[in-house]
């Protein structure tokens, strides 16, 4: 039989397992034969070699270190589970070695980028703030290892040109931590009802209506029928429906429309709350809404402000998943390293970068730069810089075809 034609029957996605390779750096030396060795020493030159990630003779390369960071801070794979995978791949490592690499990588190369991101965050006039409990075993304040520490999250608005997601580790939840991180910040901050955000000079706290709704929602579930709590939730639902209708507008127009559409609903809600004589859990929800009234009403002051702090809370879920998997940090240095790594990974994603590619980019280039004496060199390695965007852009395509399952 002779060939008649062909047709594509199907495409299948196949997986190629990762492999480890040794990358050996060899420096060649040369001597000049133009000189008489009896009269003068022959000049000898050796080729320059890119500097190692760590100068201590460590075997770790930039791609290996980046993948260890990616596993822990993007995929939430704890170090004790990574050890087994590396063993199966032919690389024997200890948990202590991995921990030291993460701490050294974070403070050696991510810390300078982290500080520039913090400066950029403080330039914004509207940001988000939130936090989640975390555990640090060896504490300098001599408190028990079971005492709660804190991982803080500070985010720019979702649609900023240079979005930043900044995380910070601390032993306490005190107001001083907020003022230390924000460092004379001037502007609005979306937050929950925590008193630490209030009465900070230059900082205007903006309340979260999603928190109000949740508190009434908890009461409604307990009652199991149409109650005052359900009526309160309906008010909140009306507010969020209006916000969805105004979402596409520019801030100035959104502010004007809110005075007409949103303000009457909020005022009606508070007038209705004043008619209640609540008890139990309902009273807690009502008291929260009344106590936070000034902060909650601020959404009417500026069209850039949002009705909730949900953007920041959604971003902090990564920390919560990581906490469930790797549970705690042994030292305060480990907590700080985690915060810096989470910052780089989250900010990379918000700027459209592949976190792993961006980490490789940093670990490969920064060891060869004298950025401590020339800090301006770091500007070209920020997530929104041209080089970062060109080499680290997130790719959802295989060839020209997008894979969707």
C-alpha–C-alpha distance, residues 68 and 71, integer Å: 5
Residues in a beta bridge with 133 = 150
C-alpha–C-alpha distance, residues 342 and 69, integer Å: 9
Residue 379 half-sphere exposure toward CB, CA atoms < 13 A: 4
Residues in a beta bridge with 393 = 353
The pLDDT of residue 314 is 83
DSSP for 268-331?
HHHHHHTT----HHHHHHHHHHHHTHHHHHGGGT-TT--S--HHHHHHTHHHHHHHHHH--EEE
Task: Give the tokens for residue 102.
Answer: 């993460």
- CB under 8 Å to 14, separation ≥6 — which residues? none
- Is there a contact between 53 and 60 (Cβ–Cβ < 8 Å)? yes
Task: Give the tokens for residue 405.
Answer: 């399952």
Task: Give the tokens for residue 266.
Answer: 């909020």
Task: Please give the DSSP secondary-structure letter assigned to residue 168.
Answer: E
99-132 core/surface letters (b: 16 or more CB in 10 A; e: else):
bebbbbbbeebbebbbeebbebbbebebbbbbbb
Task: Give the tokens for residue 35.
Answer: 């000189």
Task: Give the tokens for residue 8.
Answer: 């594509």
Task: Please give the DSSP secondary-structure letter assigned to residue 189.
Answer: E
Dihedral angle sign, alpha carbons of residues 71, 74, 151, 182? positive
The pLDDT of residue 321 is 81
- Number of neighbouring beta carbons within 10 Å of residue 53: 24
Domain boundaries, the chain: 208-306
Q: Which of 129, 180, 125 is nearest to 336 (CA)?
A: 180
329-358 core/surface letters (b: 16 or more CB in 10 A; e: else):
beebbbbbbbbbbbbbbbbbbbbebbbbbb
The pLDDT of residue 396 is 54
In 3-state terms, the chain is what percent helix, strand and coil (to 5)? Answer: 50, 15, 40
Q: Does residue 145 sit in helix, strand or coil?
A: coil
- Number of neighbouring beta carbons within 10 Å of residue 190: 28
Q: Which of 21, 58, 206 is nearest to 127 (CA)?
A: 206
What pLDDT tens digit does each residue of the chain (405 aa) get?
999 999 999 999 999 888 899 988 899 998 887 767 676 777 888 888 888 899 867 899 999 999 999 999 999 999 989 999 999 888 999 999 999 999 999 999 999 999 999 999 999 999 999 988 888 888 888 888 778 888 899 999 988 899 999 999 998 888 888 999 988 899 999 998 888 888 888 899 999 999 999 999 988 665 556 688 999 999 999 999 999 999 999 999 999 999 999 999 999 999 999 998 888 889 999 999 999 999 999 999 999 999 999 888 888 877 788 777 776 788 888 899 999 999 999 999 999 999 999 999 999 999 999 998 999 999 999 999 999 999 999 875 334 445 555
Q: Residue 143: what are its φ and ψ, rounded to 5°?
A: -75, 165
CA 334 to chain centre: 17
DSSP for 223-247?
H-SS-HHHHHHHHHHHHHHHHHHHT
The pLDDT of residue 146 is 79
């Amino acid at each position: 039989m002779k060939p008649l034609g062909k047709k594509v029957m199907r495409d299948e996605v196949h997986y190629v397992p990762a492999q480890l390779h040794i990358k050996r750096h060899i420096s060649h030396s040369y001597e000049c034969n133009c000189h008489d060795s009896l009269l003068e020493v022959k000049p000898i030159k050796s080729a320059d070699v890119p500097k190692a990630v760590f100068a201590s003779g460590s075997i770790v390369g930039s791609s290996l270190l980046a993948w260890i960071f990616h596993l822990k801070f993007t995929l939430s794979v704890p170090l004790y589970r990574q050890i087994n995978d590396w063993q199966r791949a032919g690389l024997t490592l200890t948990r202590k070695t991995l921990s030291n690499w993460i701490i050294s990588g974070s403070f050696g190369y991510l810390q300078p980028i982290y500080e520039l991101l913090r400066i950029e965050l403080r330039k914004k006039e509207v940001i988000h703030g939130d936090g989640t409990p975390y555990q640090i075993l060896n504490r300098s304040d001599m408190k028990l290892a079971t005492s709660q520490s804190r991982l803080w999250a500070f985010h720019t608005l979702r649609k900023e040109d240079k979005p930043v997601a900044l995380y910070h580790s601390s032993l306490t939840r005190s107001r001083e931590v907020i003022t230390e991180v924000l460092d004379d910040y001037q502007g609005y901050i979306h937050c929950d009802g925590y008193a630490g955000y209030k009465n900070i000079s230059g900082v205007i706290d903006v309340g979260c209506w999603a928190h109000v709704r949740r508190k009434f929602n908890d009461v409604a579930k307990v009652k199991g029928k149409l109650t005052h709590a359900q009526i309160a939730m309906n008010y909140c639902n009306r507010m969020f429906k209006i916000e969805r209708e105004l979402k596409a507008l520019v801030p100035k127009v959104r502010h004007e429309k809110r005075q007409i559409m949103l303000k009457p609903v909020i005022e009606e809600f508070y007038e209705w709350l004043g008619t209640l004589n609540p008890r139990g859990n309902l009273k807690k929800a009502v008291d929260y809404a009344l106590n936070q009234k000034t902060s909650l009403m601020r959404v009417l002051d500026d069209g850039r402000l949002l009705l909730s702090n949900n953007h920041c809370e959604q971003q902090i879920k990564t920390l919560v998943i990581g906490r469930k998997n790797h549970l705690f940090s042994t030292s305060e240095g480990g907590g700080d390293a985690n915060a810096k790594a989470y910052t780089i990974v989250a900010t990379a994603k918000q700027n459209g970068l592949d976190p792993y590619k961006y980490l490789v980019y940093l670990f490969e280039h920064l060891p060869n730069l004298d950025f401590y004496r020339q800090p301006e060199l770091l500007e070209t390695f920020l997530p929104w810089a041209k080089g970062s965007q060109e080499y680290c852009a997130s790719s959802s395509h295989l060839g020209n075809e997008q894979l969707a399952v």
